[in-house]
Structure 1
């Protein structure tokens, strides 16, 4: 199975094509499964709300705050976590993150008050901090910049797959297990979808390697090819003025502007993910199983869009316009869904466009941070972008919940997210580093000359 097409490599790059596909086959399916587990644990609260709101007295505004407060804990610990991953190694740190967050996620089944809900969501954010930016950083240890848009697109399929799988699965768990052993359906949901993270963490410790230099499943020539290419790329970035210290990332305006775009796209993604079951319910769908199936449609569209846009971006070696256009298209989808809220078919189509565009834009955008920074600066820059972006994961669900409770209409919240996506797209177009130069692919002769 080849994740990377032959057309992405030159006529004399057969060895590179084979070794990078070998790495992709080894890492991406496993990391994809971990991300599906991760995203399910973040957003299954949207399905749980359909029952737990009445059980513990949770208002729309309180749910929006509780859903989003996860990201406050997440953001506080994200940069330290990514720096710790670089220091202690990926396999230990990713395993630690997953085991702790799995236990806390399952523990949400015991909440009985709004305050307990807030505290557990905040702790869950602290526990999971660093997983998402940590994996992005980890992928830069294996793949050169020119391949990362497709690689990120494949990894981000975890968001889409969690939507495709998670909706029907969550609906089935709550429908089939509700009342068993005296537990409500939402309690079973947290338990059944929380424990896999614990087992995933144990598997990560056993399965992952900290980098290509330690990968025994690669031959010595294969290890050398990958390490030499990445070393040459780092030298090239440093020669072009890329920072490599922690402070370089914090001072780099390009990183902060990328973080704003990430805020817009990721905030829109999370806002829709948290509220999708309620939005579909408001369209007149009350059956949990059918609700779950319908919420899978936008994420199915997103899984296709991410691969198509990612491949096109890598083929054209262009990131700026791909990301910006996705942001604008996503905003249009949100406006369409809000304007035609009275028509469930058009509204669901608009949501599908919005989710697909936002996720496709994210996949392309995340190919950029490691082309601007290297070393500790790359780790800090990626974590900073994820931190700012995940603040959008707090802001957007809260705005949707607050607006819905205030007006009893969700479309105004969709319009607010659309405005933020437009701003994110415009910011992408003015990033200085992207206006001055484009990321150039590292050729085999450059690698050999650098080593």
Structure 2
């Protein structure tokens, strides 16, 4: 298939040396540009947000299923953790190929394919009858879902200028805590209300019911998501041209790029530090996504699954409030490192509070802080890679960073399952969370400082 035929955006189509040279200046028509950005937010973010809500619900419902599923299938906490690890391992191995295929086939087709197949795979989890069935279901789900998040983040870089990208990333990623806030009570209600209906367990119904919206949204993506500004019917030609020119003017280097994929732009210290920072951040967030229901169950021993679901919604609500505020402040000040560090340290303090056994109120407040801080740090981090990478290097670079995050998720579920069985509590999980969040703060601040030093050296 011709690469110029299936593109992420009009910027992708205009790879000629003449366009690259002509579009170095910012767009002259600021009114058209501002309107194009506003319309992009209005037309793209709601659909992508809804898709990510369902993506994250399909992750956190695994933790809720464990409340009753583990005993039904004879699954130990270590085996449950291993099943979570296998999901992320499969996701990891298919992450980069999926992101490159998204660029080749176009966002509309590829994101729709991802959503439809992962909806079907998530639904099939209800067929598991033991540990091995659970392992297989999670591997298939990981393969199906691979590439969704980095694909959308890549897609947004060809619609939203860098100065507005923190807010765009936050509006997209608020879907994660929104999924926690909505999915937690929903999952708890399904587990409680549907158990035994038509001879099936509540956790089986949960996987079936929560997969249906994902498949429907996949079909909506296929119909409504434009492949790029040049195909957006809701942009005028002047708005489309202004937006493409502005995005083209943000290239990292002044060199005319070729279409050849290379790893050379990724072999520098700021990029490597960013990869490790994301590894640590996601290791913490995946712990929250997988284990929060079980941690809350232990904090409030004896609570019903419905009450656990309601309690688990509170941290998500806190993150929803904090994410746009912090990202908006970061955009207004055009400052990333300090905002990221503040969010990460808040999360680290939250994890510390979860270790205070005997004080359930403080532990719940800690879980709220760990969630709000961790999720608020993520959209700020994702504003940084596009400033390090040229347009041609972005598909590979964003996929590599995302894959490093998935590696954090590979380690986290099994490690926490083993720690829980070895110690009899989640105190060690809390201390591990402190380590992850302090580490990510140090690494990302270092990456930003190194990048600034490199820019000054190149300018001199």
Partner of 1:197: 214
1:281 aligns with 2:271: no
Distance 2:131 2:195 in 1: 21
TM, length-normalised to structure 1 = 0.91
Deviations 1:169-210 (A, max 9, x none): 001111111111111000001111122222111111101011
1:412: how far off?
0.8
Picking from 270, 279, 300, the partner of 1:254 is 270
1:95–1:202: 8 Å Cα contact kept in structure 2? Answer: yes
Residue segments in structure 1 that go unaligned for 5+ positions in a row: 1-11, 440-451
Partner of 1:404: 420
Picking from 270, 282, 285, the partner of 2:286 is 270
Where in structure 2 are the equivalents of 1:173-252 lying within 5 Å?
173-234=190-251, 237-239=252-254, 245-252=261-268
Tell me, what secondary structure is at the counterpart of 1:86? Answer: helix
1:267–1:395: 8 Å Cα contact kept in structure 2? Answer: yes
Distance 1:341 1:226 in 2: 53
Distance 1:83 1:77 in 2: 10
Change (3 A) 1:313 1:129: same
Partner of 1:326: 343
Distance 1:32 1:75 in 2: 22
1:416: how far off?
1.1
Partner of 2:18: none
Distance 2:345 2:451 in 1: 18
Partner of 1:27: 44
Distance 1:151 1:28 in 2: 8
Partner of 2:21: none
1:438: how far off?
8.1
1:365 aligns with 2:376: no
Q: Runs ≥4 in structure 1, deviation > 6 angstroms?
A: 240-244
Picking from 188, 191, 204, the partner of 1:171 is 188
1:243–1:249: 8 Å Cα contact kept in structure 2? Answer: no
2:96–2:403: 8 Å Cα contact kept in structure 1? Answer: yes
Change (3 A) 1:243 1:408: farther
Distance 2:297 2:257 in 1: 49
1:241: how far off?
11
Partner of 1:85: 102
Change (3 A) 1:97 1:226: same
In terms of mean alpha carbon deviation, does 100-109 or 375-384 score higher? 375-384
Partner of 2:76: 59
Deviations 1:280-306 (A, max 9, x none): 110125211111111011111011111
Distance 2:265 2:399 in 1: 10
1:395: how far off?
1.5
Partner of 2:436: 420
RMSD: 1.8
1:242: how far off?
9.8
TM, length-normalised to structure 2 = 0.89
1:256: how far off?
2.1
Distance 1:332 1:305 in 2: 16
Picking from 338, 342, 351, the partner of 2:367 is 351
Distance 1:252 1:381 in 2: 12
Deviations 1:183-242 (A, max 9, x none): 1000001111122222111111101011111111111111111111111112xx122899
Distance 2:141 2:258 in 1: 32
Change (3 A) 1:101 1:217: same
1:158: how far off?
0.6
Picking from 153, 167, 188, the partner of 2:170 is 153
Distance 2:258 2:310 in 1: 46
Picking from 102, 105, 111, the partner of 1:94 is 111
Deviations 1:78-117 (A, max 9, x none): 1111111111100011011111111110000000110111
2:316–2:372: 8 Å Cα contact kept in structure 1? Answer: yes
Picking from 309, 316, 328, the partner of 2:333 is 316
1:327–1:425: 8 Å Cα contact kept in structure 2? Answer: yes
Deviations 1:331-385 (A, max 9, x none): 11101121x2321211111111111111111110001111111233111111011
Distance 2:255 2:155 in 1: 23
Deviations 1:259-281 (A, max 9, x none): 11111112211101211111111
Distance 2:308 2:156 in 1: 35
Picking from 48, 55, 60, the partner of 2:65 is 48
Distance 1:397 1:115 in 2: 17
Change (3 A) 1:221 1:15: closer
Tell me, what secondary structure is at the counterpart of 1:209? Answer: coil
Partner of 2:5: none
Distance 1:355 1:327 in 2: 10
Change (3 A) 1:298 1:240: farther
Distance 1:63 1:356 in 2: 26
Distance 2:119 2:435 in 1: 35
